[in-house]
Amino acid sequence: MRINRGLSGVRAYLRGAPGTHVWLAVLFVTTVVLHSMPPEFEENFLRHRSTNLHELSRDPVRVLVASAMWIESGRWLPYAFLYTVFHAPAERWLGTARWLAVCALTHVLASLASEALLLAAIRTGRAPLTAVDTLDIGVSYALAGVIAVLGYRIAVPWRYGYLAAVLAVFTLPLAAGPTVTDVGHLLAALSGLACHPLVRGRGKAWNPKETPARPRG
């Protein structure tokens, strides 16, 4: 029956990127929780789950994990779209373990490096002391890293155009008064490019002129 075939196709699609869809499910639940919260409590609630300097100095592991489970904007659908376009193909290509490694590395490195730069700015007087509580939460660092690493899935010379566009997207905001998050996004993308060793042996790169290569595994 068509319905059974359709359900089988959906199950196969979900099984191809289980980590992506579990993460999306968690984000859906936390977004519902956030919307059910009184607005006056929301910012303080997120601040305790933010990778700001204050929370990192108290419990770095907790906030690095917690900050990847909430969406500051409270809008889940745009992330569902972005996860489907970038995370799911990356997980099917790399395999769940390598995809998760890219996500973790880029999220952690971008969070710590951007906050280290903020700490240096505070110590030199270029940022106020209150910046230790700057809200820096969400899943965008891992997303930026995965978007960048997907460049290795594309064959040369098309890869260069894709990577140039990615770097432009994450570099241009720095020209208009960079925030901690803007710096973090660029650092995450660069960290994703540094994950090249994780993509070795994952099949032939996709050439737009040819039939798309099937992911290995």
Q: Is residue 87 part of a domain?
A: yes
Q: Is residue 207 part of a domain?
A: no
Residue 142: which CATH number? Answer: 1.20.1540
The domain total for the chain is 1
Return the DSSP state at 155.
Answer: P
CB 70 within 8 A of CB 151: no
Q: Is residue 44 part of a domain?
A: yes
Q: Coil, strand or helix: which one is 154?
A: strand
- 125-140 pLDDT, tens digit per residue, is 999 999 999 888 889 9
Q: Is residue 176 part of a domain?
A: yes
| pLDDT value at 163 more than 60 | yes
Q: Give the torsion sign (CA, 58, 62, 68, 74).
A: negative
Q: Which domain range does residue 135 map to?
A: 2-199
Q: Is residue 70 part of a domain?
A: yes
| pLDDT value at 6 more than 50 | no
Peptide bond into 157 cis (omega under 30): yes
| pLDDT value at 60 more than 90 | yes
Q: Is residue 18 part of a domain?
A: yes
Closest by CA position to 140, among listed 103, 172, 166: 103
Q: Is residue 23 part of a domain?
A: yes
Per-residue pLDDT at 211: 56
Q: What's the Cα-to-Cα distance from 108 to each of 130, 153, 185, rounded to whole Å?
A: 23, 23, 12
Q: Is residue 90 part of a domain?
A: yes
Q: Coil, strand or helix: which one is 206?
A: strand
- Span 199-217, mean pLDDT? 71
CA 60 to chain centre: 18
Per-residue pLDDT at 203: 80
